[in-house]
Chains A and B, each alone.
Chain A
Amino acid sequence: MKLRVILLNVAVALIGLIVLFPLAWMVSVSFMSTGEAATFPPPLLPKVWTLSHYRELFVDQGMGRYMWNSLALATLATVLALGFTVPAGYAFAKLRFRGRDRIFQMLIGALVIPAQIGTLPLFLMLKSVGLVNTYAGALVPWLASIFGIFLVRQYALSIPEEMLEAARIDGASEGRIFRSVVLPTLTPILVTLALFVFLGSWNDFLWPLIILTDQSNYTLPVALAALSREHVQDAEMMMAGAVITVAPVLLLFLALQRYYIRGMLAGSVKG
């Protein structure tokens, strides 16, 4: 019995090591001086710690600009997505209107369609209205989130009907009820959804790669992919670039992981 307990704990620690080692090594290599990582056996820690690769990325490679793009786009995507999906999710859960259930079923059915199918026509549509290579173009796919509506609806179903009725009897308008009664009770799922959209938008690759054609508009992942094609040999600098790209979302996730995990389990219909 005792042996089993030890074995289980060792197994878990081993998986933990396999999971964490690449990330830890990425950080370590990013502080090594140029060429140090291209030796055998690979060094685990830098001989001399240096910030030179980070400096080069920000000073010569314009990383600050890409970081700003990523931050601005992810923030705007989050705000817009919440603005579009939260009222809709609430209405599907709590308000009656003609065709509600049929429309909702259609939306759920549409979840099986991968968004990539519409990528090419969407690009052509945005090109015809001059939105290629703009923030607006990059934000468009984040407005229409069926998954977000689904998530908010699941949570809003638990709002007690009496609470809404009481507000109606007091003469509050539907908009007023939404703002002062519904939104406060939805706060946890709002944090969850915001986190989903922010991480999703920050980590997205295919769409920004297509729609942001001008280098000065690149997001971090697109810039990093471009950089890695030019600087394959420069392992230390590439690791520094990877750290800059990963660290913000990883820290955000660690700070708010409770909310993220709850949302994932509530909506495990689609990831």
Chain B
Amino acid sequence: MSSTVTARERAAWGFVAPALIAIAVFFAVPVIAALLLSLTDFDIYALADLKNLRFVGLQNYERLLTNPLFWGAMKNTLWFSVLGVPLAIAASLFAAVILNARTVRWRPIWRVVFFAPYVTTLVATAVLWNYMLHTKYGVINWILTSVGLPAVDWLGSPATSVPAILMFVVWKIFGYNMLIFLAVLQTVPDDLYEAARIDGAGPWKQFRHVTLPAIAPTLLLVSIISVAGFFQLFAEPYVMTQGGPAQSTVTVLYFMYEEGFKWWNLGSASAVAFILFLCIFAVTMVQLWASRKLGGDHT
């Protein structure tokens, strides 16, 4: 008996070992190495000869915290998240709620249509939106001017570059959250809406008192995923604006890329990566804490 148990245990290890080794070597080791690397001055000279590598302690972090370009990237990333997360969630929740109505025709088709942009290649659709946002020939300014509004220099002005990119991002990703919301909405019992209607609640009151409480945990999950996603914007500014105009779309990850692979300051770039992680982690913790706090008030 014990020999078959060990044989089975050996087989189990055979199944998990390749994956665990791959995760250890190509994920865990690099992440830990990033922390160590961020404490060194690894740069293009160390890349040529490892003897030039020095341990510098927290110097990279100190230098970043006094670097206005880094703070600019932090500020821009914060703007993207503060504006983008509520916008994206509102759009996806709105789409989910109306698509959940049984009187809407062709619901399965619309569901796929709304989701389609999410699977498109980011770089390709960023190129597409670059053209849609073109100051002179873009379709968005055409719509604006044909209803009598002034044309906007979307990607050419620091005041509108972030909203312009957000327009594209929301178009691209809202279907993802929408699907998750739709799945949850389908679990809300019809009797609850029926009861609310009998009590004389209109659509808004039904949404406020039946839908919202039912989807609250999902709302939290989606907001956590969204914050992490918006903190990691990279390809959008890389393709659409190259960080411009006037550095207004340099995100933290874009800053890390330039620091690492344009200037080859890999030590400093690793410090950026770590600060980014700490920020995501901190925001997630705050969200979880807030939800527990709010949940506690209700009960």
Contact = CB atoms under 8 A, between A and B. Distances in A.
A114 B276 contact: yes
A120 B270 contact: yes
Contacts of B176: 264, 271
A114 B18 contact: no
Secondary structure at chain A's binding surface: helix, strand, loop or mixed? helix
Contact of A88 (B9, B19, B238): B19
Nearest to A140: B26
A167 interface: no
B128 A22 contact: yes
Given A39-B137, A112-B284, A116-B276, A261 B15 contact: no
Interface residues of A, number: 96
A15 B95 contact: yes
A67 interface: no
B19 A120 contact: no
Interface in A201-224: 202-203, 205-206, 210, 220-222, 224
Interface of A: 4-5, 8-9, 11-12, 15-16, 18-20, 22-23, 25-26, 29, 37-42, 83-85, 87-88, 90-92, 95-98, 100, 103, 107, 110, 112-122, 124-125, 140-141, 143-144, 146, 149, 173-175, 178, 199, 202-203, 205-206, 210, 220-222, 224-225, 228-229, 232, 235, 238-239, 241-243, 245-246, 249-250, 253-254, 257, 260-261, 264-265, 268-271
Interface of B: 7-9, 11-16, 18-20, 22-23, 25-31, 33-34, 37, 42, 47, 95, 98-99, 101, 103-105, 110-117, 119-125, 127-132, 134, 136-139, 142, 146, 171, 175-176, 179-180, 183, 221, 225, 228-229, 232, 234-235, 238-239, 242, 253, 256-257, 260-261, 266, 269-270, 273-274, 276-277, 280-281, 284
